[in-house]
Amino acid sequence: MADIKNTQTQGGGGDDAPKKQASDEAKDQANAAFKKQDYPLAIDLYSKAIDIFPTAVLYANRSIAHLKTECVGYALNDASKAIELDKTYVKAYYRRAAAYMALGKFKQALKDFEAVVNARPTDKDAKIKHQECNKIVRKMAFEKAIAVDDTKKAIVDSIDIEAMAVENSYTGPRLENGKVSVQFMAELMEWYKNQKVLHRKYAFKILVDIERYLMNQPTLIDVTIPEDKEFTVCGDIHGQFYDLLNIFRINGIPSEDNPYLFNGDFVDRGSFSVECIFVLFGFKLLYPNHFFLARGNHESASMNQMYGFDGEVKAKYNAQMAEFFTEVYNWLPLCHCLNNRVLVMHGGLFSNDEVTLDDIRQVDRNRQPPDEGIMCELLWSDPQPQYGRSPSKRGVGIQFGPDVTDKFLAKNKLDYVIRSHEVKPEGYEVAHDGKCITVFSAPNYCDSIGNKGAFIRMKGNQMDPKYTTYEAVPHPDVRPMAYANQILSMLC
């Protein structure tokens, strides 16, 4: 990488002065929108300014706005464009490092931090960011060096539940004969509502039991909804526990007569992720044939390390449990097929028109999500309005058009797909002529977006989606991302 210096990007002069002035006016409006957290408007205005008079500053500013809307691929491209325009612009390297960190590409981020430290050898802030990123890279290298896949003992086999004593002072919910019960779930939700922690003995027991159950499940789960019964599909929850309780208040507590599917991204960002995941796992153990969970892109080690779940588990329990969660998440199913008519996955469709349901069934899911292929695209892809396919705005997966959806549905004899993964103003969005539906169940995402949440209900004999939307409810004064990796909060 070329050496960089701490200099300011200069605008044009002469005949360029009117363009520069118009561009600066749009930039000022964009900056104001950004401060108000209206990131889509800020992106539009930065784009307008770039069209008039492009500068490294504008691309770097639009990069951070894209990062705020989780369009990490776009953020990475803009930061790289800023560096291309001005290799001396230090902030652009910070922006690109932030995008790499958000993607879990820590080695690439470290290179950009090294460039900044070389340019600013006395900058304490730059040194701290470099050191934090370097710690992550070293930790990953160490874990890789000591890992021997063929002989590595599963964490579940090293946990001794019986040796964990329950203190007399503990007055919270207790498993009945080591099993989840209706009473336990009611007490657990009330316990969590009052910001208390489930005893580690019962927390570990739930994890042990859920892993052993999931290990015996297929990658694609076929779900039968009786003709006279209704079924609910929820999207991302993202650690918003009090909004999860509100879903149950509006739509009823899960039961054999009130089945649910939660479609991934149960954790991260929201700071009550531990509460969410144990309630969801508890209901799965209580009603294994009437409560379903699919893996999202945030049920992965790199996302959890950056966006808060790893830190939250360590704060409320310990590092062993955080590592155990990673092992459990590897066994979560990747998608569900409802009545042989509707496929539900977290992300979306594929870069290959030939993918079948049998291909999905054959995917080896017991691993961290790869950067390409069926598993990656199920977790990361997004729909687009135009035909064909495009590179992902996230930097992982693809974007797919209505023709891609049509071909997939026809090949696999399906009616439509449901996916999640994206914030929508109304909590849901119907695209591709009704054949690709997005549902997102975390209202006022990160306490800042202002979106509604939604869930979908359908009856077995019709399978027509019906939408319920709702606003966010109050929660205790713990901000989103409270447990996130500090380097990400420093960059964003």
pLDDT tens digits, one per residue of 293-320: 999 999 999 899 989 999 999 999 999 9
Q: Are residues 113 and 219 located together in one domain of the fold?
A: no
pLDDT tens digits, residue range 158-190? 999 999 999 999 999 999 999 999 999 999 999
> For the domain that residue 207 is a member of, what is the CATH number?
3.60.21.10
Q: Are residues 216 and 136 located together in one domain of the fold?
A: no
Reported confidence tier of residue 44, pLDDT bands at 50, 70, 90? very high
Specify if 337 maps to a domain: yes
Domain that holds residue 177: 158-491
- pLDDT at position 119 is 87
Specify if 2 maps to a domain: no
Identify whether the C-beta of residue 271 lies closer than 8 Å to the C-beta of residue 483.
yes
Domain boundary among 146, 169, 202: 146
What is the sign, positive or negative, of the torsion defined by CA atoms of 122, 125, 130, 131? positive
Of 306, 288, 299, 361, nearest to 328 by C-alpha is 299
Q: Are residues 111 and 255 located together in one domain of the fold?
A: no
- pLDDT at position 215 is 97
- pLDDT at position 153 is 79
Stretch 262-284: mean pLDDT, rounded?
98
Task: Point out the residues that are catalytic.
Answer: 298
Structure token digits, residue 92:
């652009």
Identify whether the C-beta of residue 328 lies closer than 8 Å to the C-beta of residue 320.
no
Reported confidence tier of residue 9, pLDDT bands at 50, 70, 90? very low
Q: What is the CA radius of gyration of the chain?
A: 23
Q: Are residues 231 and 377 located together in one domain of the fold?
A: yes
Domain boundary among 98, 114, 146: 146
> In sequence order, which residues have a C-beta less than 8 Å from that of residue 102 and are 6 or more positions away?
67, 72, 75, 306, 488
Q: Are residues 441 and 317 located together in one domain of the fold?
A: yes
Q: Are residues 235 and 127 located together in one domain of the fold?
A: no
User: In terms of DSSP bridges, do strands 416-419 and 220-223 run parallel, antiparallel, or are they unpaired?
Assistant: unpaired
Reported confidence tier of residue 150, pLDDT bands at 50, 70, 90? very low
Specify if 6 maps to a domain: no
- pLDDT at position 142 is 73
Structure token digits, residue 145:
């060096």
Average pLDDT, the chain: 93
Structure token digits, residue 131:
């050191």
d(CA 36, CA 45): 14
> In sequence order, which residues have a C-beta less than 8 Å from that of residue 271 and are 6 or more positions away?
239, 308, 312, 478, 479, 480, 481, 482, 483
Q: Are residues 109 and 27 located together in one domain of the fold?
A: yes
The total domain count for the chain is 2
Identify whether the C-beta of residue 207 lies closer than 8 Å to the C-beta of residue 321.
yes
> Within a 10 A sphere around the Cβ of 73, how many other Cβ atoms?
20
Q: Are residues 284 and 369 located together in one domain of the fold?
A: yes
Q: Are residues 205 and 258 located together in one domain of the fold?
A: yes
> In sequence order, which residues have a C-beta less than 8 Å from that of residue 69 and are 6 or more positions away?
39, 40, 43
What's the start-to-end Cα distance of the chain, in Å?
23
- pLDDT at position 147 is 59
Task: Output 70 or 225, whichever has higher pLDDT.
Answer: 225
Stretch 233-256: mean pLDDT, rounded?
98
Domain boundary among 121, 146, 171: 146
> For the domain that residue 96 is a member of, what is the CATH number?
1.25.40.10
Angle between helices 39-52 and 17-35 (to 10 degrees): 170
Structure token digits, residue 105:
């590409």
Specify if 153 maps to a domain: no
Specify if 3 maps to a domain: no
Chain centroid to Cα 281, Å, comes to: 18
Specify if 7 maps to a domain: no
Residue percentage of the chain with pLDDT more than 90: 83
Reported confidence tier of residue 144, pLDDT bands at 50, 70, 90? low
Q: Are residues 129 and 200 located together in one domain of the fold?
A: no
Reported confidence tier of residue 125, pLDDT bands at 50, 70, 90? confident
Phi, psi of 169 (to 5 degrees): -75, -15
Query: What is the pTM assigned to this prediction?
Result: 0.91
Helices (H), 53-181: 56-68, 72-85, 90-102, 106-119, 124-146
- pLDDT at position 6 is 47
Specify if 23 maps to a domain: yes
Q: Are residues 141 and 190 located together in one domain of the fold?
A: no
pLDDT tens digits, residue range 361-420? 999 999 999 999 999 999 999 999 999 999 999 999 999 999 999 999 999 999 999 999
Specify if 151 maps to a domain: no
Stretch 327-339: mean pLDDT, rounded?
98
Q: Are residues 187 and 131 located together in one domain of the fold?
A: no
Reported confidence tier of residue 421, pLDDT bands at 50, 70, 90? very high
Reported confidence tier of residue 491, pLDDT bands at 50, 70, 90? low
d(CA 382, CA 440): 13
